Amino acid sequence: MFSEVVKSAMPDTIIYEISKDITSEEYEYIREAGSVIRRGGLVAFPTETVYGLGGDALNPAASGRIYSAKGRPSDNPLIAHIADISQLDMLAYEVPDVAMRLMKRFWPGPLTIILKKKKEVPYETTGGLDTVAVRMPDNPIALAFIREAGVPIAAPSANLSGKPSPTNAWHVRCDLYGRIDMILDGGPVNIGIESTIVDLTSELPVVLRPGYIDMNMLSEVAAGVEKDPAILGVPDKNIRPKAPGMKYRHYAPEGELTIVSGDPDRIPERINMLARRHDEADVGVITTDENRHRYDYGKVVCIGERRDELSVARSLYGALRTMDEYRIKYIYVEGFSDENLGDAIMNRLMKAAGYKIIYV
Ligand code: AMP
Ligand code: MG
């Protein structure tokens, strides 16, 4: 990819390519990344969801650097990433049974749980909250990196605040080059949207952010799972989301994004009509394999197959970034059903679109 060239041309962020089977030479890079963390530095790394921007979760200065590198509001807490359940001891106390069951079933994997924080976890990491978000990512590079660092790694997504989350190392480089110490380039991610977040600090588990692990999957292991009312539909000023991050406009491209949802067969007709109101150079359409042939106006980007929602999740943020590269002013995206992974896809799309949606 781009490691050799970049290392010599721009010395301030080191970029290492790492393959999934991690050769012994690559392992040395991971060790180096671990020592950057112990010195209080920042390393972006791949996970199965999106790339994370990591720092020592127990070092307030490191967390502070994460906020400034991203331009992130300081009340938006970070997720602590661990490589072994024993590391949970450094972070949380009163871990309920339901947490143990969820961890056993879904870790390593795209599930973040919220627990009561130990006092050793600085408020800089938790955005001032007495709770801490914890996850064990399902990516061999991430796990090796966390082990080598020897501490839990605080990591939000490795994008500039407000931009779509990075799904490959190139996206990270575009946003954070020169602002962080190192990028571990492990290729494109597998899932493409951020983890499901479940709060376990009250009586019943509450989903604060939908993700790959959906309500049905959670309900198989935990009784009475509910959704935070703040993430149902259009935000209400009177309801405050329990995940502070969910209140910010997020994942957003520069152009004005509109979702056209409903019968997938009728969506293209409406999008074509709306698109033709603008100059062709200003318009972008985000579609799926099934409907690709029905568009011939503007920049058309296909994000996968409707019947394979994972393919859609994986390409979604990249497509939003592509629209920015082409300086598209008006973007139309096809809507999806809100079942299973579609729920998480629609949650991100709604936020990216500022809740602008047309039903056909
Ligand atoms: P990111 O990793 O960029 O997706 O951001 C982390 C997300 O986790 C944000 O939406 C935060 O609001 C959420 N989060 C982190 N810690 C907590 C916590 N203790 N309580 C509730 N939400 C949290
Ligand atoms: Mg983020």
Position in ligand 1 atom list of the atom nearest CA 117: 19
Give the strand pairing for 226-227 and 256-261.
unpaired
Ligand 1 contacts (CB < 6 A) are 76-77, 79, 114, 126, 129, 131-133, 156-157, 194, 197, 208-209, 242-246
Ligand with an atom nearest the CA of residue 80: 1
CA–chain centroid gap for 32, Å, is: 25
Mean local confidence (pLDDT), 11-18: 91
Ligand with an atom nearest the CA of residue 127: 1
Nearest in space to 183 (alpha carbons), one of 5, 9, 18, 8: 18
Q: Nearest C-alpha to atom 22 of ligand 1 is from which residue?
A: 243
> Long-range contacts made by residues 290-298, C-beta under 8 angstroms, separation at least 24?
290/264, 291/264, 291/267, 291/334, 294/268, 295/268, 295/271, 297/272, 298/328
CA–chain centroid gap for 131, Å, is: 20
Among 134, 161, 209, say which to mutate for ligand 1: greatest number of ligand atoms within 8 Å of CB: 209
Does the global pTM surpass 0.85? yes
Helix (H, G, I), strand (E, B), or coil: what is residue 27? helix
Ligand 2 centroid from CA 333, angstroms: 21
Per-residue pLDDT of 197-240, as tens digits, reads 999 999 999 999 999 999 999 999 999 999 998 887 777 777 77
Position in ligand 1 atom list of the atom nearest CA 112: 8
Q: Work out the pLDDT band at 243, boundaries 50, 70, 90.
A: confident
Ligand with an atom nearest the CA of residue 110: 1
Based on the number of CB atoms within 10 Å of its own CB, is 312 exposed (0-12), middle (13-18) or buried (19 or more)? Answer: buried
CB contact burial 45-79 (16+ within 10 A = b; e otherwise): bbbbbbbbbbbbbbbbebbbbbbebbebeeebbbb
Per-residue pLDDT of 265-322, as tens digits, reads 899 999 999 999 999 999 999 999 999 999 999 999 999 999 999 999 999 999 999 9
What mean pLDDT, rounded, does the chain reach? 94
Per-residue pLDDT of 18-64, as tens digits, reads 999 999 999 999 999 999 999 999 999 999 999 999 999 999 999 99
